[in-house]
C-alpha cells in the first residue's frame, strides 16, 4: 500500500520571521529521500511542518497512508503519529531518567501499536542487541550512539509507515554516523518504510538516498532525481566543502 508525503508551495516561519518559502517536495512510497542543508537553513522547520509542530503560513502538506490521502493541516502531532508517521527528532529527545525499555514502551502509545508492543519490543531488541543488553539502564546514561539507536527504535515502536529522521548524525563520531545511516537503510528495507531524512552530513545521507533536495535559506535550491545528481551538483560540493 502506498505511503507517501506531498508538500506543495509551503511557507512557514516563527512570528514575523519567515524560514521556509515556496517549498515543493514529494516523498514517494518506499523511497528514502534526503533533505540536505547546512545549519539553520530550515530542515527541522520543514520536518516540523509535517509533524504538526509548526503550522505553515501557506501551502499544503498531505500524507498518503495505506493508500488513503490525509490533509495534515491543523492536525495535532499526536494525530499525525496516529496516522502512521513517526519522527526521530534532532537531539533524540529521550526520557533520560527512564530506562531503555521504558522509553521503548512509551513509543508504543498509539492505538494501533499498543496491542503489538511485545512483538515490536522483540523486533527492536533483535535489530538492536545493545538495547536488549541495556534494557534496564537509564537512557540518559547511554552513549551518544546508543541513544540514537534508542531514538530510532522508539520511533519504530509506533509501527510507522513513514519515518522522518532529523539529523541523525549530530553529535556522533564518524564511525557511528556511518553505522546509524546503515541502520536506517537496513530498517527501511526490512520494514518497507518510506523515509525522509534531514542531514547536514551530505555524503552519508547521499549514500542511502534514492533522491534528494537541497535547502538553502529556506528555499529548495536543488531537486535531484538520483544520488549521482546530488554528488555531481555544484551546490552540494560548494555547501559541503564550504560549510555555508
Ligand atoms: N522556535 C523557533 N523560534 C524562532 N526561530 C526559530 C525557531 N526554531 C528555529 N528557528 C529559526 O529558524 C531557522 C531555521 O532553523 P531550523 O532548525 O529549521 O534549521 P535546520 O536546517 O534544521 O538547522 P539545524 O541543523 O541547526 O537544526 C533558524 O534561523 C532558526 O534560528
- Return the best residue to mutate from 12, 13, 15, 19 for the ligand 1 pocket (most ligand atoms within 8 A of CB): 19
Q: What sign does the CA torsion over 172, 173, 179, 185 have?
A: positive
pLDDT confidence of residue 90? 86
CA distances from 44 to 98, 162, 163, 206 (A): 26, 16, 14, 18
pLDDT of residue 71: 97
Residue 122 burial by Cβ neighbours in a 10 Å radius (0-12, 13-18, 19+): exposed
Average pLDDT, integer, range 48-69 = 96
Q: Is the pLDDT of residue 198 over 80?
A: yes
**pLDDT at 244 exceeding the cut of 60:** no
Structure confidence at residue 228 as a pLDDT band (50, 70, 90): very high
Task: Give the mutation target among 15, 41, 167 for probing the ligand 1 site: most ligand atoms within 8 A of CB.
Answer: 41
Confidence check: pLDDT of 242 > 80 = no
212 in ligand 1 pocket by Cβ < 6 Å?
no
**ipTM of this complex prediction, to 2 decimal places:** 0.91
Mean pLDDT of 158-179: 91
> Taking the model in full, what pTM does it have?
0.94
With the most atoms of ligand 1 within 8 angstroms of its CB, the residue from 13, 14, 21, 40 to mutate is 40
75: pLDDT strictly greater than 90 = yes
| Ligand 1 pocket residue status of 19, Cβ below 6 Å | yes
* 14 close to ligand 1 (CB < 6 Angstrom): yes
What residue spans define the domains of the chain?
Answer: 1-84+160-244, 88-159
Higher pLDDT, 41 or 92: 41
| pLDDT tier for residue 174 given thresholds of 50, 70 and 90 | confident
41 close to ligand 1 (CB < 6 Angstrom): yes
Cell numbers 495534515 correspond to: 72
- Ligand 1 centroid, distance to 234 Cα (angstroms): 25
Annotation: CATH topology of 1-84+160-244: Rossmann fold (3.40.50)
Amino acid at each position: 500500500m502506498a505511503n507517501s508525503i506531498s508538500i506543495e508551495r509551503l511557507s512557514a516561519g516563527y512570528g514575523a520571521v519567515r524560514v521556509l518559502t515556496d517549498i515543493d517536495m514529494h516523498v514517494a512510497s518506499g523511497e528514502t529521500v534526503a533533505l540536505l542543508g547546512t545549519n539553520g537553513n530550515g530542515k527541522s522547520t520543514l520536518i516540523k511542518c509535517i509533524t504538526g509542530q509548526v503550522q505553515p503560513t501557506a501551502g499544503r502538506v498531505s500524507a498518503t497512508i495505506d493508500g488513503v490521502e490525509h490533509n495534515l493541516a491543523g492536525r495535532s502531532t499526536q494525530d499525525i503519529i496516529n496516522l502512521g508517521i513517526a519522527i526521530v527528532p534532532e537531539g533524540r529527545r529521550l526520557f533520560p531518567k527512564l530506562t531503555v525499555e521504558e522509553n521503548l514502551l512509551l513509543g508504543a502509545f498509539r492505538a494501533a501499536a499498543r496491542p503489538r508492543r511485545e512483538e515490536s519490543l522483540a523486533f527492536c531488541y533483535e535489530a538492536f542487541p545493545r538495547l536488549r543488553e541495556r534494557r534496564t539502564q537509564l537512557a540518559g546514561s547511554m552513549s551518544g550512539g546508543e541513544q540514537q539507536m534508542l531514538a530510532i527504535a522508539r520511533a519504530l515502536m509506533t509501527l510507522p509507515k513513514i519515518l522522518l529522521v532529523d539529523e541523525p548524525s549530530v553529535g556522533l563520531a564518524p564511525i557511528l554516523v556511518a553505522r546509524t545511516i546503515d541502520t536506517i537503510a537496513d530498517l527501511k528495507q526490512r520494514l518497507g518504510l518510506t523515509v525522509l531524512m534531514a542531514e547536514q552530513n551530505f555524503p552519508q545521507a547521499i549514500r542511502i538516498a534514492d533522491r534528494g533536495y537541497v535547502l538553502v535559506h529556506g528555499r529548495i535550491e536543488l531537486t535531484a532525481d538520483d544520488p549521482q545528481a546530488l554528488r555531481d551538483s555544484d551546490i552540494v560540493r560548494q555547501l559541503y566543502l564550504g560549510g555555508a
